[in-house]
Amino acid sequence: MRTGGNASLARRAVVSGILAVALTAAGPGPAEAQFILVPMDRTQTNHLKAYGLTYWTLEHVGRAEWLLNYRGGSFLLPDIEGVRREAALRGVSIQPIGGADEASIRGIITQSNMEAVVLEKAPKVAIYTPPNSTPWDDAVTMALDYAGIPYETIWDKEVVAEDLNEYEWVHLHHEDFTGQYSKFYITFAGSPWLQEEVARNQEMADQLGFADVTGLKKAVASSIRDYVEAGGFLFAMCNATETLELALAAGDVDIAAAYADGTPADPNATSKMDWTQSMAFENAEVQIAPSVNAFSDIDGHQVNTPWRRELGAFTLFEFSAKFDPVPAMLTQSHESVVHDFYGLTTSFRADRLKAGAIVLAREGELVKYIHGTFGEGTWTFFGGHDPEDPEHQIGDPPTDLDLHPSSPGYRLILNNVLFPAAKKKRLKT
């Protein structure tokens, strides 16, 4: 495990030509402009839709630049009529700049902790989510919808069939990959929505030839790991982070409490776990009691237990844009301290991280936001459910992002969507 600093990320580091933008007091006139700067500091009126504008530019023009650590991680787009029109429609603040402004800053950036990353292709995005899930029940889905970034939805059938390989970036809806239905049966056993979820999962297990839902979810988790190993970009939040890893490490071990009668899982499950099969975590103690609404001790907040930890705030690390461009991309924000928010998995214990994990944000001794490589691909895990709804409850109304257009927590989600678009080159050592 490591945190922010100047250490070099060995795999999938990003380097491109050096560029920064310094605006003159008045700025160039429209006829002189060659680029459009999308500032991402506190002057930006809609940070979240600025990501959608940049994605649209990649789709229609095929090139943009991400100015790491410059004015909150601003974007530099070609000055064409379509970009200006889209910015106006989305309510995104832009500033036209000319060649003189561009040239004047090239020497400055070499002396600063900044870098310009070339973005080349709009990544094809998929969200792993149950067929009848509501869009407002997943922060990533809401972020993409609000920003105007297109995506497709997939579920177990597509994952088992290895359809993940069609996508550059995959997000995991807050699924419980252990097959315990997030232990919602403790409180919601008679709820129609939970009964529907159980029936839907069991039907899918039968259709795909698995003996039970636990076996299906283990196979799904394995396919997701294969996707990352082959070069995919994976992003997960809430309990999808923790339960994916538990399912991978479980192998043939039964770590799921029997849903029907509440029978405890294998009492020796913890000692039988094979953590060589996981990507991010290791040496966790599995929670086998069916009456305790927690999966393991990976999560530091244990939100639905008597020993629940109260929320605070987490701090983003500042990375070297030149030597650690990948974690620098993932932490671009106009705010370095962000209010925390609960999820079934809210945070991660630092002593449960594997050695190669990079800590992107921390709350005291707990970790909120982490990243790492696995094979040729990468994974990024973000604890919590909804950055603007700290104690989200089942049935709560959806978060209105029009009220939070500059949410730093939602910005972290959207950083990950553009990450696969970056031009990849190995750093010189």
Q: If residue 362 lies in a helix (H) or strand (E), which one and from where to where?
A: strand 358-363
CA–CA distance, 364 with 381 (Å, rounded to integer): 18
Domain boundaries along the sequence of the chain: 35-119, 125-421
Which of 272, 334, 350, 343 shows the shortest CA–CA distance to 42? Answer: 334
pLDDT per residue as tens, the chain (429 positions):
544 543 333 333 333 332 333 332 234 444 467 899 999 999 999 999 999 999 999 999 999 999 999 999 999 999 988 999 999 999 999 999 888 887 776 667 778 899 999 999 999 999 999 887 776 689 999 999 999 999 999 999 999 998 999 999 999 988 899 999 888 888 888 888 888 888 999 999 999 999 999 999 999 999 999 999 999 999 999 999 999 999 999 999 988 877 667 778 888 999 999 999 999 999 999 998 888 889 999 999 999 999 999 999 999 999 999 999 999 999 999 999 999 999 999 999 999 999 999 999 999 999 999 999 999 999 999 999 999 998 887 778 889 999 999 999 999 999 999 999 997 654 332
pLDDT at 241: 98
Contact call for residues 257 and 290 (beta carbons, < 8 A): yes
CATH topology of domain 125-421: Rossmann fold (3.40.50)
Query: Looking at the whole model, is its pTM more than 0.95?
Result: no
Q: Which DSSP letter does residue 173 get? A: -
Kindly report the number of other CB atoms within 10 A of residue 16's CB atom: 18
Vertex 34: Cα angle to 29 and 36 (nearest 5) = 85
3-state secondary structure 105-149: HHHHHCCCCCEEEEECCCCCEEEECCCCCCHHHCHHHHHHHHHCC
pLDDT at 262: 74
Which residue's structure tokens are 């040239």? Answer: 103
